Amino acid sequence: MLATAAFALGLFAAQAEVPAPAPAVANLRFETKDGTLYVRRGKVRAAIDVEDAQPDMYPDLELGVTAKADGTSWTLKVDTNCQGEKTLRFSTPALEARLESAAASALARHKQWDAAASGFARAVALDAGYAKAATDLAVTQLRGGHRPEAIATLVAAAARDRVWVVGRVAIDRPLAPIASAPELRALAARTPGHATLAKLQKAGVAFSADGGLVAWDRIVGNAMTEDPDRMELRVVDVATGRLLARFPHRDHDEKGVDRALADLGFEVEKIRSRDLSTPTRTQEPEMRGTVEDIRVIVKGGRVRLSADGRPVGESRIGSPFTSGWAAKVRGGVLVGAAVNIGDGCGAWIYDDVVWIPLTASP
């Protein structure tokens, strides 16, 4: 197995021709079309997932963009339909990786598996943190008849992002032929969890058996379209509150999501939540409440926690909201907000949830 993994990593290096930073900066362009933000190089363009770049954003339409290069990084000012101007930052290699991935996807659609695999390998070499490129590489390797290389690709990617790889192997049907490979099964939790998507949606939250992960399912409805609601499993690091993975799924993916929850060791957990109040005499919409000895204030898209008058935690959260709740559990606080965006802004309705680890024991 080590030899196979080494071969795969060597393949990455051989196939990846990383462009020099200066020419790459000069060749990149940015645009919006039909509400989507793109980066372009020549005839190749790649969509930029704004929610992925700034996880507290809700689905929105990107209407315009200005960009400024600073060495090997970019600052984008994105004008959105409902949330105003948003500032996003990307490294040039990260943007180049998305362009390589977009070009490789076009080749894959024409079943040019080996050429597509070379493109995805270049994307991985450019941005090792771009986990989707690694799983796309494994799919093209598998479809091109390179099963050992596909397994090695996933094992190498899991060394950087185990949560993403375990979740994608469980959910993605194209990876099903290798999902039971011993090398990939070894990445799963030693003791499978008993959480399922149905249980999670009912309970609201799940923790991994080792206490390192917390997860919930996010469902975003849009009253201005008949399209199915957007659903995604969100996995967050308990120690830092950082969003580790977003797994979009549809109704027919339920069994795959169940496998992902089991392989990541999740168990649903009942929590004692307290409703937050919405004072009417404040200049800006606000929610307040106390859970045990933690004071919770939600205002301006931010949650602030305090105890004995001192701050103990903070996070972003969706806004505007109509109601909310909070619960203290396992050395942190879960805060939820029922976000309701009015007509003209997509009429999005969803429950946003954040996990905030306490920075000090109150």
Same domain for 40 and 174, yes or no, is yes
Q: Is 241 left (phi over 0), alpha (psi -120 to 50) or beta?
A: left
The tally of domains found in the chain comes to 3
Same domain for 37 and 175, yes or no, is yes
For residues 234 and 355, is the Cβ–Cβ distance under 8 A? no
pLDDT of residue 344: 64
Domain extent at residue 302: 274-357
What are the φ/ψ torsions at residue 282 (nearest 5 degrees)?
A: -110, 145
Same domain for 139 and 58, yes or no, is yes
**Helix (H) / strand (E) containing 349:** strand 348-357
Token pair listed for 48: 């930029």
Confidence of residue 7 (pLDDT cuts 50, 70, 90): very low
pLDDT of residue 350: 80
Same domain for 61 and 113, yes or no, is yes
pLDDT of 2 higher than 70: no
Specify the pTM: 0.86
pLDDT of residue 10: 45
Same domain for 176 and 250, yes or no, is no
Same domain for 252 and 287, yes or no, is no
pLDDT of residue 173: 95
Domain boundary residue, one of 268, 291, 326: 268
Domain boundary residue, one of 161, 185, 209: 185
Same domain for 103 and 249, yes or no, is no
Q: Higher confidence at residue 17 or residue 187?
A: 187
* Angstrom distances, CA of residue 162 to CA of 19, 49, 169, 210, 245: 28, 21, 11, 14, 10
pLDDT of residue 351: 86
pLDDT tens per residue, range 219-230:
887 777 777 888
pLDDT average, residue stretch 273-297: 89
Domain with 35 in it: what CATH number?
A: 1.25.40
CA distance 165 to 175: 11
* 232 located within any domain: yes
Amino acid present at 310: R
* 192 located within any domain: no
pLDDT of residue 267: 97
pLDDT of 343 higher than 70: no
Same domain for 27 and 176, yes or no, is yes
Domain boundary residue, one of 247, 268, 289: 268
For residues 289 and 274, is the Cβ–Cβ distance under 8 A? yes
Confidence of residue 102 (pLDDT cuts 50, 70, 90): very high
pLDDT of residue 21: 38
pLDDT tens per residue, range 50-70:
877 766 666 677 889 999 998
Q: Higher confidence at residue 286 or residue 284?
A: 286
pLDDT tens per residue, range 162-212:
999 999 999 999 999 999 999 999 999 999 999 999 999 999 999 999 999
Question: Furthest-apart CA pair in the chain: how many Å?
Answer: 67
* 362 located within any domain: no
* 157 located within any domain: yes
User: What's the first-to-final CA gap in the chain, in angstroms?
Assistant: 48
